[in-house]
Amino acid sequence: MSRLSANLLLLLAGAVWGMGFVAQSSAMSDLGPWSYTAARFFLAALTLLPFAIWEGRRAPRALARREIGGFALIGAMLFAGSMFQQVGILYTTVTNSGFLTGLYVVMTPIFGLILLRSVPHWVVWPAAALALFGILLTGGGTLARIGLGDALTIVAAAGFALQILFVGRFGSASGRPLTLSCIQFATVAGLAAIGMIVLEAPTLEGFAAVWPQTVYGGVISAGFAFTLQTIAQRYTTAPQAAIFLSSEALFAALFGALILGERIPAIGFLGCALIFAAMLAVELVPQIGRRPSPTTGDLPTTGDLRSPS
């Protein structure tokens, strides 16, 4: 698969996730965040299970214990991102949730530096400052407007950044994207089910009331889109994957306006633009002056955000 094809798959995943914010928000009227997260990821794991079994039978070797542990770690990061996002959306708008979640595009190379010693390009630092200023503006221009839901969503973005980083580390080496997806979904479902039992008392009526949102969130938003991400990241870098996946913020704002009638303050549009400009800068600036690969004619597939030194 070419890098262009991989990035288009990531863009499609971003569009699916953007619509997913609407489903997540509307589901909260009948079901708690732990119950909804457990239900949607259980359905996602169930959807991927036959494909993972098929993939395993065709694989030339069994998965190593380290790889299975890596897949579970990815699931734990996805759980953290999903739960903070799901609770946060109770206290903020779909538009804000979409844009603030997109901060993972800035966090991904920063975590790469901290955890993997991958030195980021200099543009990461001004981009991070620009994104933080954009967050301020999306809240109306004052820190008082940055509420609990926005803060939780920023924490969720950190979870998603780590998930993207670890998918790039473990997914490409294993060559088992469907198995990775199934295991990470099962991990999220299991962890969320614990919280559901301890913190909530869901009813069958509550699950039945949100079955369309659960099917979309489980089969489409999780099962389909996260698997697209896992497959596509075998052919592109984690920072580049993050920028294309961040298109979910724009789609979330679009669907929030069309379906839920949400609006943001006038100054908030500038904030959204600054956040997205930071995302674009993280990806595009390091490409300036890069020479194409002599073998493929494409840009190098590793080190896009590393310092030129």
State CA 187 to chain mean position distance: 16
Reply yes or no on whether the pLDDT at 144 is more than 60.
no
Residue 218 is given by DSSP the state I
Contact 75, 185 (CB under 8 A): yes
Q: State the pTM of this model.
A: 0.75
Cα distance between residue 61 and residue 31, in whole Å: 42
Tens-digit pLDDT profile for residues 217-256 = 888 888 888 888 888 888 877 777 777 777 776 677 677 7
Tens-digit pLDDT profile for residues 168-214 = 777 667 778 889 889 999 999 999 999 999 998 888 888 888 888 88
**Joined tokens for residue 301:** 């597939």
Tens-digit pLDDT profile for residues 18-63 = 777 777 777 777 788 899 889 989 999 998 999 999 988 888 888 8
Q: Is 205 exposed, middle or buried (0-12, 13-18, 19+ CB in 10 A)?
A: exposed
pLDDT for residue 236: 76
The model's confidence at residue 139, banded by pLDDT at 50, 70 and 90, is low
Q: What are phi and psi of 296, to 5 degrees?
A: -115, -15
Which tops the pLDDT comparison, 16 or 24? Answer: 16
Reply yes or no on whether the pLDDT at 110 is more than 90.
no
Mean pLDDT of the chain: 79
What mean pLDDT comes out for the span 78-99?
82
Which of 150-154, 207-211, 216-220, 298-302 has the least mean pLDDT? 298-302
Give the Å distances, CA to CA, from 137 to 18, 149, 255, 269: 21, 15, 21, 8
Domain edges within the chain? 3-287
| Radius of gyration from C-alpha coordinates of the chain | 19
pLDDT for residue 305: 41
